Amino acid sequence: AEISLQALEPMRTVICLLFLYELPSRISTLLGGDPPISVINNNKYITQVTPEAQVTDRNVDDSSPSLDHAIHTALSGQSKTVILMGPEGSGKTTTLEKLVVDWAKGEHLQNFSYVFYFRVRVINSLEGALSLETLMQHHHIPPESMPLVLQKPEDVLCVFDDLDQYKVFPDPSAHTLCSDPSQAVSVSCLIASLLHGSLLKGAAFVVATRPKESLEFPNSTRMEVLGFLKPQREAYFNGFFTDPATANKALTHMERTLGFYDFCTSPRFCWTVCSIYKILMDAGAELPETLTQLHVDILVHLIQALNEARVRELVLALGRMELDCFSFHRFLSSVGAFLQVDGDLDSDACVFSFTSQLMQEFLLAVCFFLDKSEGVEKMLEKHKGHVKFLDLFLSGLSEPVQRRPLETLLEEFNSDQITDFKRWFKSSSEETLKGCYKHEHHRCFHLLHQAHSKKLVKEIITPSAQTGISYGDLSLQDCVALTYVVTCLGEMELLNLYGTRDFTKEKAEALAPAMSLSHKIFFSGSSLSTGAVSHLASALSRGITKELDLSYARLGDEKFKILCAGLRDCKLLLACRLTEASCDELVSVLTSGASQLYVLFDSELTGACCRHLTEALMSEHWSLTELELSVNDLGQEGALLLCQGLSQTGCPLEKLGLKRCELTQPVFKELGSLLKSGTSRLKSLIVGINKVGNQGVKHLWDAVAHPSCLLEELDVEMTDLTDACVEDLCAAVRASKTLKILELRNNSLTDVSVPALIQVMQDSHNMQEMNLKYNDFSDEVLDMLYECDKIRY
Ligand SMILES: Nc1ncnc2c1ncn2[C@@H]1O[C@H](COP(=O)(O)OP(=O)(O)OP(=O)(O)O)[C@@H](O)[C@H]1O
């Protein structure tokens, strides 16, 4: 390690040298990573950001709060203990070592005169009782410096790495804490006494651990170690591959094929990916498409690099997790590529652990296929709760193309095991896809995505699959897998994302191809980010979507504007809440000449919007044949204006929805004149749930009876009709040559009207259906109604 030591004070020089000496003789391995000290010395260190920086801006710039800076600030303030928490390989050790190196170089944390770095893995291997003084001597502090350390503990910073490795976790209540630095106590008591402040009271601590719930120390600040978000990954790839074009190629490939997995934030995983990509690119080989293929490539490379004759036995021993010295003594020179070995190999206390959880699960899956072992159900049950990717790897390896390179090296996979997996996958997916548990559906899609076989997707997703259930609240990985499945199928009838709470730009981008291939998309009750709306818009403009439900999505005017950009060529928009501010956009889409059908159900369109709409209707560019404005408070003035637009000669509108629009009698009168005018092409008029009574609706009966009226469907549900309207109603039906459907639900018609209504339906040749549900009929007329099959009641 080549830190320049000349400029350091003698004490620092000693501690720094010893710290470096203390670093176990770590070497760079494909799965383990480049040792932190080599990362730091070779200027490959990438500064991580804090969760706050992530929230405020994902494209973090230099001024964003860095993790290192946050630690420095915390240690120079009130907080005496900083707990760094992050998953496997997230960069905790590297952050700690950088901290110590920066101190030793005199760059940071200069308020401390002594910095001690303890690795719990190493302390664990110290047996018997230990005093603080002996521990420090283990860390090579010269005896003459000891009194200085003990006299001014506030000048001391202790760094504890791998606290999760602690065998017995420090718990103050379980120990009598020690306060005498020369007293020999158990190692667990020693650590607990330091962290709880009974030893070296006033000293500061930085502790790193994988996520642990029960970790609390006095005056402590927790900090999440996020690993590499996208901007840091980009910086890392650029540092790894010196050629920018190669870096970009590698990064783009990783983001496309793996970027949706959480573990991509792990710097250690990024190192492994970069390393294997480099090997493959140098050899002119294809880069892996799936997580399984990536692990096949890694394992093949590791095996080839070993000088090991019994590779099949080695893989079996690792996969069966025969993690004991006896098994591994046979493969001593080889296991280091896969395992971390703590303690003396010849002692019972020697502990083996997998460097990569992913590789551990991958080896388990390989083992399942290598020889006849237990059935797949039993195997998955046995590991339930401890594994995350086992079924994915099984799925990937069950496809010949993916496993072939391994078979060439080991031997052919057992065909019974492959058949067993395929049987399980088929039957469990069939069951899953009949049900309505979205998480199970998503899991099935993840497995299909991993298998990467279009043929298999078509085999598994049969027409009986319930793919129309709500897939709301998808994760990024769900979006990618669903897109894969829909792309293989070629189309999807309904993409139901009802109640999605957090539809981000990233998710929308991943799901865009699936959206383009869906006939209907439901986003009802969802919350879409601005970025997501713009991906939705472009997906719609490219795709086949005919129906889009954005009801209760509270899109708002700004997002609606963005959506409109994609709607120029879209056939239909259903239900979104808009206000007056969106009118200009709306009118411009409506008159674009490309939209064919438009529904603005349940918006917040008011009278003022009607003025814009009317202008649009009167313009020569209006080409829509359907307009749905139901559930908008248009008001009398607005609705009358609209009628004016409709009476324009040449207005092509054939279907108009004005349900629950607070319409009044004068509006019905105007609608009636419009229908009789001879200029209207309206075939369907939906004006239910407007309380205008017999008098109001009479204008429509008169219109229906008029020879110029072309209406085929009239909906006057819940308009307060009584028996008094029936004479006009029957006259209208008899006179009309076009009317086919009459919707009369939820009115106040009674038994006395029934004979006339049945008669008129029987006499009419045009009429196909009259709906009389929820009127005031008694049971006595039910038999009569039953006789007329054109009446629903
Ligand atoms: N900030 C960084 N810049 C560049 N590389 C990094 C950084 N952090 C980590 N790495 C790389 O990732 C590897 C793993 O990181 P590190 O050992 O620090 O993780 P960890 O969180 O301590 O993991 P574990 O929980 O397994 O102990 C390092 O060896 C190094 O190669």
Instruction: Evaluate if residue 1 carries a pLDDT over 50.
Output: no
Query: Model confidence over 326-358: pLDDT tens digits?
Result: 566 667 677 788 888 776 666 666 777 888 999
| Residues with Cβ within 8 Å of residue 689, at least 6 apart in sequence | 659, 660, 717, 718, 719
**CA 621 / ligand 1 centre spacing (Å):** 62
The ligand 1 atom nearest the CA atom of 266: 12
**This model's pTM is above 0.95:** no
Query: Model confidence over 751-774: pLDDT tens digits?
Result: 999 999 999 999 999 999 999 999
**Nearest-angstrom CA–CA distance, 270 and 261:** 12
Instruction: Evaluate if residue 507 carries a pLDDT over 80.
Output: yes
Among residues 531, 530, 492, 493, which one has the least CA distance to residue 510? 531
The domain total for the chain is: 3
The ligand 1 atom nearest the CA atom of 90: 21
Nearest CA to ligand 1 atom 8: 91
**CA 13 / ligand 1 centre spacing (Å):** 25
Of residues 37 and 174, more confidently modeled? 37
Instruction: Evaluate if residue 60 carries a pLDDT over 60.
Output: no
Residues 68 and 176 in one domain: yes
Sort strands 769-771 and 339-342 into parallel, antiparallel or unpaired.
unpaired
**CA 45 / ligand 1 centre spacing (Å):** 10
The ligand 1 atom nearest the CA atom of 210: 25
**CA 236 / ligand 1 centre spacing (Å):** 12
Nearest CA to ligand 1 atom 15: 91
Residues 235 and 216 in one domain: no
Query: Does 756 map to a domain?
Result: no
Residues 87 and 50 in one domain: yes
Query: Model confidence over 269-290: pLDDT tens digits?
Result: 999 999 999 999 999 999 999 9
Give residue 234's domain range: 229-287
The ligand 1 atom nearest the CA atom of 268: 12
pLDDT band for position 116 (cuts 50, 70, 90): confident
**C-alpha dist (Å) from residue 675 to 231, 267, 706, 768:** 62, 70, 8, 21
**CA 91 / ligand 1 centre spacing (Å):** 3
**CA 267 / ligand 1 centre spacing (Å):** 6
Of 182, 197, 224, the residue at which a domain comes to its end is: 224
Nearest CA to ligand 1 atom 4: 45
- Residues forming beta bridges with residue 339, ordered by sequence position: 354
Q: Report the pLDDT value the prediction gives residue 612, as an integer from 0 to 100.
A: 72
Query: Does 791 map to a domain?
Result: no
pLDDT band for position 601 (cuts 50, 70, 90): low
| Residues with Cβ within 8 Å of residue 694, at least 6 apart in sequence | 720, 721, 722, 724, 725
Instruction: Evaluate if residue 8 carries a pLDDT over 60.
Output: no
Instruction: Evaluate if residue 107 carries a pLDDT over 70.
Output: yes
Report how far Cα 505 is from the mean position of its chain's Cα atoms: 10
**CA 36 / ligand 1 centre spacing (Å):** 6
Query: Does 633 map to a domain?
Result: no
The ligand 1 atom nearest the CA atom of 48: 1
Residues 125 and 267 in one domain: no
Assign residue 90 the CATH number of its domain: 3.40.50
Lowest mean pLDDT segment, chosen from 566-570, 636-640, 659-663, 739-743: 566-570
**CA 48 / ligand 1 centre spacing (Å):** 11
Of 535, 558, 573, the residue at which a domain comes to its end is: 573
Amino acid at the residue 156: V
Q: Report the pLDDT value the prediction gives residue 600, as an integer from 0 to 100.
A: 55
Half-sphere exposure of 684 (CA within 13 A, CB side): 12
Nearest CA to ligand 1 atom 12: 268
Q: Report the pLDDT value the prediction gives residue 56, as an integer from 0 to 100.
A: 42
Coil vs helix vs strand at 161:
strand
CA torsion through residues 735, 736, 741, 746, sign: negative
Coil vs helix vs strand at 578:
coil
Query: Model confidence over 127-148: pLDDT tens digits?
Result: 678 888 888 877 767 777 788 8
**CA 673 / ligand 1 centre spacing (Å):** 78
Q: Report the pLDDT value the prediction gives residue 44, as an integer from 0 to 100.
A: 93
Query: Does 108 map to a domain?
Result: yes
Phi, psi for residue 352 in degrees, rounded to 5 = -105, 135
Half-sphere exposure of 62 (CA within 13 A, CB side): 0
Q: Report the pLDDT value the prediction gives residue 53, as an integer from 0 to 100.
A: 62
Instruction: Evaluate if residue 14 carries a pLDDT over 60.
Output: no
Residues with CB under 6 A from ligand 1: 33-36, 39, 44-46, 48, 86, 88-94, 162, 210, 267-268, 271
Nearest CA to ligand 1 atom 13: 268
The ligand 1 atom nearest the CA atom of 98: 1
CA dihedral 332, 338, 342, 345 (to 10 degrees): -10
- Residues forming beta bridges with residue 713, ordered by sequence position: 684, 741
Q: Report the pLDDT value the prediction gives residue 212, as an integer from 0 to 100.
A: 77
Query: Model confidence over 364-400: pLDDT tens digits?
Result: 999 999 988 789 999 999 999 889 999 999 999 999 9
The ligand 1 atom nearest the CA atom of 225: 21
The ligand 1 atom nearest the CA atom of 355: 26
Q: Where are the beta strands (DSSP E) in 216-338?
A: 220-224
Query: Does 304 map to a domain?
Result: no
Q: Report the pLDDT value the prediction gives residue 138, as an integer from 0 to 100.
A: 73
Phi, psi for residue 339 in degrees, rounded to 5 = -120, 150
Average pLDDT, the chain: 85
Among residues 45, 486, 520, which one has the least CA distance to residue 240? 45
Q: Report the pLDDT value the prediction gives residue 766, as an integer from 0 to 100.
A: 94
pLDDT band for position 58 (cuts 50, 70, 90): very low
Residues 163 and 53 in one domain: yes
CA dihedral 485, 489, 494, 500 (to 10 degrees): 10
pLDDT band for position 2 (cuts 50, 70, 90): very low
Residues 26 and 112 in one domain: yes
pLDDT band for position 47 (cuts 50, 70, 90): very high
The ligand 1 atom nearest the CA atom of 91: 18
Q: Report the pLDDT value the prediction gives residue 686, as an integer from 0 to 100.
A: 95
**CA 76 / ligand 1 centre spacing (Å):** 25
Q: Where are the beta strands (DSSP E) in 346-459?
A: 351-354
Nearest CA to ligand 1 atom 1: 46
**C-alpha dist (Å) from residue 308 to 122, 313, 330, 672:** 29, 10, 10, 91
Query: Does 585 map to a domain?
Result: no
**CA 631 / ligand 1 centre spacing (Å):** 57
Q: How many CB atoms lie within 10 A of CB 790?
A: 14
Element (H, E) at 101: helix 92-104
Helix axes 505-516, 530-542, angle to 10 degrees: 20
Of residues 632 and 743, more confidently modeled? 743
Q: Report the pLDDT value the prediction gives residue 13, as an integer from 0 to 100.
A: 54
Nearest CA to ligand 1 atom 31: 34
Percent of the residues in the chain that have a pLDDT greater than 90, as a whole number: 51
Lowest mean pLDDT segment, chosen from 66-80, 364-378, 534-548, 624-638: 624-638
Residues 220 and 281 in one domain: no
Query: Model confidence over 646-680: pLDDT tens digits?
Result: 887 778 889 898 988 889 999 999 999 999 998 89
- Which of the listed residues 23, 39, 266 should we mutate to test ligand 1's pocket, taking the one with most ligand atoms within 8 A of CB? 39
Residues 181 and 263 in one domain: no
The ligand 1 atom nearest the CA atom of 86: 21
Assign residue 494 the CATH number of its domain: 3.80.10.10
Of residues 15 and 462, more confidently modeled? 462
**CA 39 / ligand 1 centre spacing (Å):** 9
Of 249, 271, 287, the residue at which a domain comes to its end is: 287
**CA 97 / ligand 1 centre spacing (Å):** 10
Query: Model confidence over 176-232: pLDDT tens digits?
Result: 788 899 998 888 788 888 888 889 988 999 999 998 776 777 778 889 999 999 999
Query: Model confidence over 433-469: pLDDT tens digits?
Result: 998 899 999 999 999 999 999 999 999 998 888 888 8
**CA 402 / ligand 1 centre spacing (Å):** 29
Residues 178 and 258 in one domain: no
**CA 93 / ligand 1 centre spacing (Å):** 6
- Which of the listed residues 71, 93, 99, 234 should we mutate to test ligand 1's pocket, taking the one with most ligand atoms within 8 A of CB? 93
Nearest CA to ligand 1 atom 17: 93
**Nearest-angstrom CA–CA distance, 684 and 711:** 6
Q: Region 593-598: what's the mean pLDDT?
A: 49
**Nearest-angstrom CA–CA distance, 74 and 219:** 11
Of residues 708 and 52, more confidently modeled? 708
The ligand 1 atom nearest the CA atom of 267: 12
Residues 192 and 243 in one domain: no
Lowest mean pLDDT segment, chosen from 103-117, 160-174, 396-410, 455-469: 160-174
Report which DSSP code applies to 38: H
Residues 120 and 266 in one domain: no
Instruction: Evaluate if residue 513 carries a pLDDT over 60.
Output: yes
pLDDT band for position 630 (cuts 50, 70, 90): confident
- The radius of gyration computed from the CA coordinates of the chain, to the nearest angstrom, equals 36
Q: Which of 2-16, 97-111, 393-407, 457-471 has the highest mean pLDDT?
A: 393-407
**CA 696 / ligand 1 centre spacing (Å):** 76
The ligand 1 atom nearest the CA atom of 88: 25
Lowest mean pLDDT segment, chosen from 57-61, 258-262, 301-305, 715-719: 57-61
The ligand 1 atom nearest the CA atom of 47: 1
Helix axes 244-257, 230-240, angle to 10 degrees: 140
Report which DSSP code applies to 593: S
**C-alpha dist (Å) from residue 281 to 171, 246, 313, 556:** 50, 9, 30, 48
**CA 5 / ligand 1 centre spacing (Å):** 24
Coil vs helix vs strand at 692:
coil
Residue 315 has which token pair?
């893989």
Residues 176 and 136 in one domain: yes
Instruction: Evaluate if residue 688 carries a pLDDT over 50.
Output: yes
CA dihedral 740, 745, 748, 749 (to 10 degrees): 40
CA torsion through residues 744, 745, 751, 755, sign: positive
The ligand 1 atom nearest the CA atom of 94: 18
Scanning the structure block, which residue is given the tokens 């969106």?
A: 582
**C-alpha dist (Å) from residue 209 to 86, 114, 197, 199, 285:** 7, 22, 19, 21, 38
**CA 92 / ligand 1 centre spacing (Å):** 6
Query: Does 67 map to a domain?
Result: yes
Q: Report the pLDDT value the prediction gives residue 639, as an integer from 0 to 100.
A: 86
**CA 34 / ligand 1 centre spacing (Å):** 8
Q: Report the pLDDT value the prediction gives residue 455, as an integer from 0 to 100.
A: 95
**CA 132 / ligand 1 centre spacing (Å):** 29
Query: Does 438 map to a domain?
Result: no
Nearest CA to ligand 1 atom 6: 267
Instruction: Evaluate if residue 89 carries a pLDDT over 90.
Output: yes
- Which of the listed residues 84, 117, 225, 268 should we mutate to test ligand 1's pocket, taking the one with most ligand atoms within 8 A of CB? 268
- Which of the listed residues 23, 41, 71, 94 should we mutate to test ligand 1's pocket, taking the one with most ligand atoms within 8 A of CB? 94
Terminal-to-terminal C-alpha distance of the chain? 88
CB 643 within 8 A of CB 670: yes
